[in-house]
Amino acid sequence: MPPTYRGDIIFINDGQQYGSFNDMKTNFIEWANYFPNNKVGYHYGFPADEFWWSTINDPAKTIGQELISSIPNLYSLYWVDFSITKIFPITVTNIIAQNTLPSNFSLMQNYPNPFNPSTVISYQISEISKVSLVIYDILGKEVATLVNEEKNAGIYNVNFSAKSLTSGVYLYRLLVVSKSGIFTQTKKMMLTK
């Protein structure tokens, strides 16, 4: 186990040494329990584990749903296949550990980056707010609106598929309007085909 930390640190466990799904699940739950005050993320489905996950009809969904229902402070969950391009993000849009509502507004770097054809964009809001998450090309032309609605305080993960777009640099912009004021943040991401 890694050293003990507390605070706004996101731990990622991407071990590839599991002899079975139960071994992996047990290890992931141990990480969650070891860091109860932190957000924990996981990567699973690596080639080293293929001998057991390939026996499952839909391993990304089957394993992912089981992990989502088992891990209390889960922040992110990614299915990674042989090419490390197939992503299985959490389908529930706000996974919040008890008593760990965000204390500020923040837009995180998308993962993976560079990506092809999909990526996950995460953001957090500290109070009920009107939220807009928009994708732009490098010239500033809007190419997609991912979120445009009121949201409660929480941490959100949004899956973005760029199958119809060409390779290049894209921008994503979070705009939050709340009682506290207006927050905006923009980040870059790279689509490679």
Q: How many Cα atoms within 13 Å fall on the side-chain side of residue 102?
A: 22
Which residue type is seen at 104?
Answer: N
Query: Which one has a higher pLDDT value, 193 or 42?
Result: 193
Cβ atoms 37, 100 nearer than 8 A = yes
Instruction: Write down the pLDDT at residue 104.
Output: 87
Instruction: Write down the pLDDT at residue 22.
Output: 79
pLDDT for 62-108, tens place per residue?
777 777 777 766 766 666 654 443 344 433 333 333 445 678 899 99
Give the integer Cα–Cα distance in Å for 71 and 79: 16
* Other Cβ atoms within 10 Å of 157 Cβ, number: 20
Name the average pLDDT for the chain: 76
* Mean pLDDT for the stretch of residues 175-188: 94
Query: Which one has a higher pLDDT value, 161 or 5?
Result: 161
Query: Which one has a higher pLDDT value, 6 or 77?
Result: 77
Instruction: Write down the pLDDT at residue 97.
Output: 39
pLDDT for 131-148, tens place per residue?
999 999 999 999 999 999
Instruction: Write down the pLDDT at residue 63.
Output: 75
- Show the tokens assigned to 58: 């839909």
Domain ranges of the chain: 10-79, 106-191
Taking each helix axis from N to C end, the angle separating 21-34 and 59-70, rounded to the nearest 10 degrees, works out to 30
Give 39's pLDDT tier (boundaries 50, 70, 90). Answer: low
3-class SS of residue 60: helix
- Show the tokens assigned to 181: 């004021």
Share of the chain above pLDDT 70, in %: 66
Phi, psi of 35, deg, nearest 5? -120, 60
Q: Which residues contact 51 (CB under 8 A, 6 or more apart)?
A: none
The CATH class of 106-191 is mainly beta
Tell me: pLDDT of 10 over 90.
no
